[in-house]
Every structure is written in structure tokens, then in C-alpha cells.
Amino acid sequence: MYFLLTSTAYAMAPGAGADGGQGSGLQAIIPLVLMFGIFYFLLIRPQQKKAREQKEMLNELKRDETVVTTGGIYGKITGVTDTIITLEIAPNVRIKVTKSSIAGKASTEGKPADDKTK
């Protein structure tokens, strides 16, 4: 139990006090810049690229393409406006969905069009 009550004291190096620390501001900024760089290249940049590709795909949609919604509904596009897409999900059964709810294009056999399995 004695080891829980003891504390360790750390001494500062000579010249590293509040009055004489050269480069301490730069040393504090470098890790922050490195962390931001890592976050940018691993998180922010890939998300921006994916969002740009999704937006391009939504703008290129046209009639008679088969798509899948974010809810998992497959359908053929029968009408396109600026914000609404009309899908035919069965013969003479049409639904209207928002353009942003389209997850991607689908092939006719029900698998995603960009699935590259052999």
C-alpha cells in the first residue's frame, strides 16, 4: 500500500524553464501539424473523394438505368427531376424517392455494377 501514497517528482532540465526555453513553441506545434496531416490524408481526403464521386454519379443518372436505394430497393429509373427520381420496382409499380437516397447503380441480375468478382 506504500507505493500508492508515494509520488514521483520530475526535475526540469537546465535552461528549460519558463524564461529560457528556446524552441518550445515550435516543439509544441510540430506534433499538432503532424496529427492534422495524418487525419487529412487518412480521413478527410478519402471522404471528400467519395462524396465527389457520389455527387457525379447522381448527376449522371438517366432513364432506364437500374439503381439501388440506400434502403436496399432495386428499381429502374422511369423519371428524373432535380431532386426526385421515379423508380419502377415491379411492373406498373412506381415509387418516388429523393435523388440523395440512391446508393448506386446496379446491374440487371441484382448485384452491384461495380462488383469485380471473378
Asked if the model's pLDDT at residue 88 lies above 70, the reply is yes
Compute φ and ψ for 11, nearest 5 degrees. -95, 145
3-class state of residue 105 by DSSP: strand
Amino acid at 44: I
Q: What is the DSSP letter of 12?
A: P
Asked if the model's pLDDT at residue 103 lies above 60, the reply is yes
- 43/16: higher pLDDT: 43
Tell me what pLDDT residue 110 has: 47
- 100/14: higher pLDDT: 100
Report the predicted TM-score, pTM, of the whole model to 2 decimal places: 0.60
Asked if the model's pLDDT at residue 114 lies above 80, the reply is no
- Residue whose C-alpha is closest to residue 112's, from 104, 96, 45, 19: 104
3-class state of residue 41 by DSSP: helix
Q: What is the DSSP letter of 42?
A: I
Asked if the model's pLDDT at residue 30 lies above 50, the reply is yes
